[in-house]
Homo-oligomer: A and B are copies of this chain.
Amino acid sequence: MNILVTGSAGFIGSHLTSRLLNDGHAVIGVDNYISGQRANTKRFFDHPRFRFVEADVSLGMPDTHESLDYVLHFASPASPPHYQQHPIETLMVGAQGTQNALELARRHDAKFLLASTSEVYGDPNVHPQPESYWGHVNPNGIRSCYDEAKRYAEAITMAYHRYHGLDTRIVRIFNTYGPRMRHDDGRVVTNFVHQALAGEPLTVYGDGQQTRSFQFVDDLIEGVTRLMSVRHHEPVNIGNPDEYTVLEFAQIIRDLIDPSLDIIHRPMPQDDPRQRRPDITLAKSLLNWEPRVTLREGLARTIEGFREDRRLLESSDRRGWRPLTFHVAGEG
Interface residues of A (CB under 8 A from B): 87-88, 91-92, 94-96, 99, 120, 122, 134-142, 144-145, 147-149, 151-152, 154-160, 162-163, 170, 234-235
Contact = CB atoms under 8 A, between A and B. Distances in A.
Contacts of A159: 87-88, 91, 144-145
B154 A151 contact: no
6 contacts: A91-B95, A96-B96, A120-B139, A139-B155, A144-B154, A145-B156
Given A122-B134, A139-B154, 11 more contacts: A91-B155, A92-B99, A95-B152, A140-B154, A140-B234, A144-B158, A145-B156, A148-B152, A148-B154, A151-B151, A151-B152
A155 B145 contact: yes
Contacts of A156: 88, 91, 145
Contact of A134 (B87, B92, B95, B136): B136
Copies of this chain in its oligomeric complex? 2
B139 A135 contact: yes
A90 to B, nearest CB: 8
Contact of A158 (B99, B140, B158): B140
Contacts of A135: 137, 139
A235 B141 CA distance: 11
A274 to B, nearest CB: 12
Task: List the 8 closest pairs (A to B, CB-CB), nearest first.
Answer: A95-B95, A148-B155, A144-B155, A139-B151, A152-B152, A140-B158, A87-B159, A140-B154
A296 to B, nearest CB: 35
A240 to B, nearest CB: 23
A285 B163 CA distance: 44
Nearest to A123: B134
A163 B120 CA distance: 22
Given A92-B99, A134-B122, A155-B149, A162 B142 contact: yes
Contacts of A137: 134-135, 151
Contacts of A151: 137, 139, 144, 148, 151-152
Contacts of A120: 139
Nearest to A159: B87
Centre residue among A152, A155, A234 by max chain B CB count within 10 A: A155
A227 to B, nearest CB: 15
Centre residue among A91, A120, A147 by max chain B CB count within 10 A: A91
A282 to B, nearest CB: 14
A171 to B, nearest CB: 13
B144 A87 contact: no
A156 B87 CA distance: 8
Contacts of A144: 151, 154-155, 158-159
Nearest to A85: B163
